[in-house]
Every structure is written in structure tokens, then in C-alpha cells.
Amino acid sequence: MSVPDFAARPQLAEDVARYVRRRIFDGSYAAGAYVRLDQLAAELGVSVTPVREALFELKAEGLLEQQPRRGFVVRPVTHRDVTDVSNVQAYLGAELTARAAVGITETQLRELEQIQNELERAYAADDGERAVRLNHEFHRAINVAADSPKLAQLMSQITRYAPESLFPTISGWPEKSNAHHRHILAALRARDESAARSAMSEHLAAGAEPLIAHLTRRGVIE
């Protein structure tokens, strides 16, 4: 995996945490492996301070464990971990989407349609990185339309535990995700609160099983 240009970015600790989190979920950092602060800082071309902050953040998330005089070690990812995150996402996302259905504007709907069109083109072009970004924008736009900042903040926090970058690589998921998004858009355009809630809940819950299978094949989940 190529190393991004961290030195040119603000919010380095957050970027480093995202990088390590991705390596845990793609199997590059296996359970029990040590993440060396100095080594990671040198690899990314940054000082040890943002790396230390990132590793403590990942410790708080339960992805790393700090061992006295030995540093940080990767904790196992379990079937229950992924299922729990998916269930919480499904509940929060469904409620946010139901609220968005009540107050979404025509401008916001048009923006969502445009994002979805671009997302489908990114999937078709096998541009996984762009697809991940656009998928995030799609869900964020709905959360903004919900006008419930505290709930949206909780959703943002739990999403950190979901390895979004893996989904474009899961066989069959892009097609399924696009179909789900179209159902969500239809419910939002109809201002159908109940249908919007159901469509988003189904979408977010549906990702757990293929993600668990994918992580198991990669050796991330044993």
C-alpha cells in the first residue's frame, strides 16, 4: 500500500489514525502485531507527536492496546465488533434519514442525486478511492438534511469504526449499495418518513455480513 503525503496535510493525528485504522482492517497490521511509534513516524515522514496522539486515539477506540515498556499492539477484530458497529449505524442512520425526509429541500435532493450519479460513475470506473469519498458525501448530506447535529455527531463517531475503504472491493457490494441508495432517494423525494427509515436501516445493516466474510478471508477476523 502506498504511503500518502502526510507532511503536507493539516490535522495530522487524525490522518495518521485513519491510516493505521485502514491497515488494521486490510490485514496489513495483524492482531498481536506491534505498531512502533518511531518507525511509523519515519514511514510517514512526520514527527512522533501526531503519531502518538493517533495511537492513543486508536487505543481509546479499542483497536490498539498499550503494553508497559513495549508500546502499542493491535487487538483482534471480532465478529461481534463488526456486528455491533453495523447495528448502531443502522439505528442512528435510520433515524437521521427519517428526519431528513421531513425537512429536506429541493436543493438538497438535487445535490444528493448528483452525488449518487457521480458515485455510480466512480464504481463503474473502478475508482475505489473516489467511490469511498462520494459515498461518505452521500451519507453526510442526508445527515446534514436531518438537522440533528448531536445525532449526526454520534453517527460520525461510530463510523470511524467502520472500514469504509474496503466496501468498493467487496464483490457485489457496489451494485447492491447503488440500489439501496436509489431506494433511499425515492423515499426522501416522497417525503416518506417511514420508508426512509426502513431503506437506510436495511442499507446499513446489509453491509455487516459481506464485510465480515471479507475480513475473515483477509485473516482480520479469525
Q: Quick one: pLDDT at residue 2?
A: 60
Q: What is the distance of C-alpha 72 from the center of its chain? A: 23
Q: What is the spatial distance between Cα 53 and Cα 64, in angstroms, rounded to a whole number?
A: 13
Residue 111 and residue 94 in contact, taking contact as beta carbons nearer than 8 Å? no
Helix, strand, coil percentages, rounded to 5, for the chain: 70, 5, 25
Q: What is the distance of C-alpha 1 from the center of its chain? A: 18
Q: Quick one: pLDDT at residue 6?
A: 54
For 17-33, how does the pLDDT look when each residue is reduced to its tens digit (9 = 90+)? 989 998 998 888 989 99
Q: Which domains does the chain have, with CATH numbers?
A: 6-74 (1.10.10.10), 79-217 (1.20.120.530)
For 42-65, how does the pLDDT look when each residue is reduced to its tens digit (9 = 90+)? 999 999 999 999 999 999 888 999
Low-confidence ranges of the chain (pLDDT < 50): 8
Q: Quick one: pLDDT at residue 122?
A: 96
Backbone angles phi, psi at 35, to 5 degrees: -105, 110
Residue 109 and residue 189 in contact, taking contact as beta carbons nearer than 8 Å? yes
Q: What is the pTM of this model?
A: 0.83
